[in-house]
């Protein structure tokens, strides 16, 4: 945990504060992040009745958790399942089976993230969770930048693998929040926490 603390000290941010994201909201999210211990705790921040996407679905377990732990209106679960990054047809079948009980609130889309972009108007989403490919830092942060315009003000963008084991992800997230005036919050997941030993990060769009 000291490694993470040192990292934050070297990555200061000056978030944009406005009527949507003010000092009170900043402090509330900071305190909430300290109480969260699991990756799926971030789902409790998603707007009731809202619409969101998960980018990078694999076997569908985290999409299922989002649907179980929140009162969102609709979730789009997007992945290629092309077999080139470990997400293959077997995982696609697992995702379909796992998410079928939630089909009134979920659509599973087999396509690239950039192919899915035109399906969503700007400022149409309430949350975005990115868990694509940590090895290339989510396309060196391009995924974050491409999808941020789709998020409404007050919406949550989040992702996995904010840890020195994945330096490209950390660098991409740090650069992304600074460039867009976002405030970074981090959930310190324990190694025995659900489905991830690596921290989840999140930010609210002003």
Is residue 45 scored above 90 in pLDDT? yes
Contacts of 74 (CB under 8 A, 6+ apart): 51, 52, 105, 106, 107
SS3 content of the chain, % helix, strand, coil (to 5): 40, 20, 40
Q: How far apart are CA 58 and CA 93, in angstroms?
A: 10
Residues 6+ apart with CB under 8 A from 103: none
| pTM given for the model | 0.89
- Asked if 156 contacts 183 with a C-beta cutoff of 8 angstroms, the reply is no
Domains of the chain with CATH codes = 2-103+116-204 (3.40.50.150)
Q: What confidence tens digit (pLDDT) does each residue in 178-201 have?
A: 999 999 999 988 666 556 778 999
Distance of CA 199 to the CA centre of its chain: 11
pLDDT band at 177 (very low <50, low <70, confident <90, very high): very high
CA terminus-to-terminus distance, the chain: 29
Sheet holding 200-204, edge to edge: 106-110, 74-79, 51-55, 125-130, 151-159, 200-204, 185-187
pLDDT at 10 over 70: no
Note whether 171 and 16 are within 8 A (CB). no
4: which 2 tokens? 């993470």
Percent of the chain with pLDDT over 70: 86
Structure confidence at residue 84 as a pLDDT band (50, 70, 90): low
The rounded distance, in Å, linking the Cα atoms of 188 and 185 is: 10
The DSSP-derived string for 107-134 is EEEES-HHHHGGGS-TT-EEEEEE-S-G
CA distance 147 to 101: 28
Q: What is the pLDDT of residue 110?
A: 95
């Amino acid at each position: 945990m000291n490694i993470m603390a040192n990292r934050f000290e070297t990555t200061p941010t000056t978030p944009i504060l406005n009527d949507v994201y003010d000092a009170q909201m900043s402090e509330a999210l900071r305190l909430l992040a300290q109480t969260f211990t699991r990756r799926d705790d971030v789902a409790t921040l998603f707007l009731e009745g809202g619409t969101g996407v998960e980018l990078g679905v694999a076997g569908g377990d985290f999409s299922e958790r989002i649907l179980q732990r929140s009162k969102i209106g609709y979730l789009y679960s997007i992945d290629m399942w092309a077999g080139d990054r470990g997400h293959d047809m077997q995982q696609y079948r697992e995702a379909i089976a796992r998410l079928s009980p939630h089909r009134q609130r979920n659509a599973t889309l087999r396509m690239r993230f950039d192919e899915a972009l035109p399906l969503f108007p700007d400022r149409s989403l309430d949350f975005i969770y990115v868990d694509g490919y940590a090895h290339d830092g989510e396309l060196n942060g391009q995924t974050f930048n491409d999808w941020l315009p789709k998020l409404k003000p007050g919406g949550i963008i989040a992702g996995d693998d904010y840890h020195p084991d994945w330096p490209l992800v950390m660098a991409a997230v740090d650069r992304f929040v600074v460039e867009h005036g976002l405030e970074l919050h981090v959930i310190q997941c324990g190694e025995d926490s659900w489905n991830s030993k690596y921290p989840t990060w999140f930010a609210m769009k002003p």
